[in-house]
Amino acid sequence: MSAKAAKIVIREVNKNQRLVLGLASGRTPLGFYQRLRLAHKQGKVSFNNVIVFNLDEYIGLGKDYKNSYGYYLRHQFADKVGIKDSNLYLLNGRAKDLKKECQNYEAKIRKQNGIDWLILGIGKNGHIAFNEPGSSFRSITRVINLTYSSRLANAPYFNSLAKVPKRAITVGLGTIMRAKNIILMAAGKNKAEIIAQTLKSEKNRAVPASALQEHKNLIVILDKLAASCL
């Protein structure tokens, strides 16, 4: 899964040095970032002019806090492959004016002419980025209340459920659908059911990822277990 996704992104960056990437955090893309780091180290790809947007951030966590997605993206990818600071767009979970932070982020994405390749994981409840069930298919970057399911899935990083932030900023489903190309990755048995619902159930707001059914350039990359209910 990771190798396939990395191969596509390396190919695309080699075609367009100024590619705009939207990148998920979490467990799923760890191997993908590892492969991108390796390819960079081996001189197979240059990320010098690549532009990166992260997709979500916990509210209340500074970008230097190790469980923040900003920290994750820097340490798993951006800082390791030479993404310029001026080309790295991270959501600020400690912005004083969160509404403005969200509006500015949408504007920054638009200014880059949108996201060329968006890399997504999926939550067990069907969230993509942090668009929780019930999210509007047209939603844009905004503040969202995290569900129990999402907080529970991330509790191990915080050592306790109580410490997992209750809110996040996330790009919207509308923002995601405007990306020119999307790769959805999933691995493991615990993603099998939601992957089947995402791809086979009728598009509905209870499964936010089902919005992807209508995307013109969607690539789904699964391991065998995640594909086992298809």
What is the nearest approach in angstroms of ligand F6R to the Cβ of residue 224? 17
The smaller minimum CB distance to ligand F6R, of residues 19 and 23, is found at 23
Q: Which two tokens stand for residue 185?
A: 């990755």
Residue 56 in contact with ligand F6R, rule: CB under 6 A: yes
Residue 28 in contact with ligand F6R, rule: CB under 6 A: yes
Residue among 40, 56, 92, 154 flagged as catalytic: 56
What is the nearest approach in angstroms of ligand F6R to the Cβ of residue 109? 15
What is the nearest approach in angstroms of ligand F6R to the Cβ of residue 112? 19
The smaller minimum CB distance to ligand F6R, of residues 61 and 122, is found at 122
- Closest-CA residue to 109 (of 67, 54, 60): 54
- For the residues of 24-68, what is the DSSP string, one character each? --SSTTHHHHHHHHHHHHTTS---TT-EEEE-EEETT--TTSTTS
Part of the chain binding ligand F6R (CB under 6 A), chosen from 95-103, 109-117, 119-127, 219-227: 119-127
Residues 116, 173: Cα–Cα separation, whole Å:
16
Residue ranges in the chain assigned as alpha helix (H):
2-15, 30-41, 69-76, 98-111, 148-158, 173-177, 192-200
Query: Using CB under 6 A as the criterion, which residues of the chain lie in contact with ligand F6R when the complex forms?
Result: 24-28, 55-56, 69, 121-123, 127-129
